């Protein structure tokens, strides 16, 4: 019976050691999951910033294309001596630029 008791005690000690190891491993896994979650959240924030920057660049590019098209039409109208048309287009270009400046001022506030 003493032998049996020693065997049981020995098994209990081994089980306690294994349980401590398992607990430590679980803690490490939990910490790893926390770190992965933090990195994932940081990456999501970066992606959102990139999306915003890309959209802003696309909008700016479109606005630039509009201004360039108007300028080209103004030059073409002047070349063809269509001064009334050139004046109308110049006025339109000024309005576009003024609107963009207002949008820029509003976004700074």
Q: What is the mean pLDDT of the chain?
A: 96
| Short-list 102, 77, 103, CA closest to 90 | 77
Whether 76 and 89 have beta carbons less than 8 Å apart is answered as no
Predicted confidence (pLDDT) at residue 2 exceeds the cutoff of 90 = no
In this predicted model, what pLDDT tens digit does every residue of 66-86 receive, in sequence order?
999 999 999 999 999 999 999
> Considering the entire predicted model, what is its pTM?
0.63
Report whether 89 contacts 77 (CB < 8 A).
yes
Among residues 59, 77, 57, the alpha carbon closest in space to that of 69 is found at 77
DSSP, collapsed to helix, strand or coil, labels residue 93 as: helix
């Amino acid at each position: 019976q003493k032998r049996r008791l020693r065997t049981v005690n020995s098994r209990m000690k081994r089980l306690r050691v294994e349980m401590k190891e398992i607990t430590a491993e679980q803690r490490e896994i939990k910490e790893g999951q926390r770190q992965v979650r933090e990195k994932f959240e940081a990456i999501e924030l970066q992606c959102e910033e990139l999306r915003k920057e890309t959209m802003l660049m696309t909008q700016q590019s479109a606005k630039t294309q509009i201004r360039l098209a108007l300028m080209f039409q103004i030059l073409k109208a002047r070349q063809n001596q269509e001064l009334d048309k050139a004046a109308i287009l110049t006025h339109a270009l000024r309005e576009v630029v003024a609107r963009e400046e207002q949008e820029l001022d509003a976004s700074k506030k």
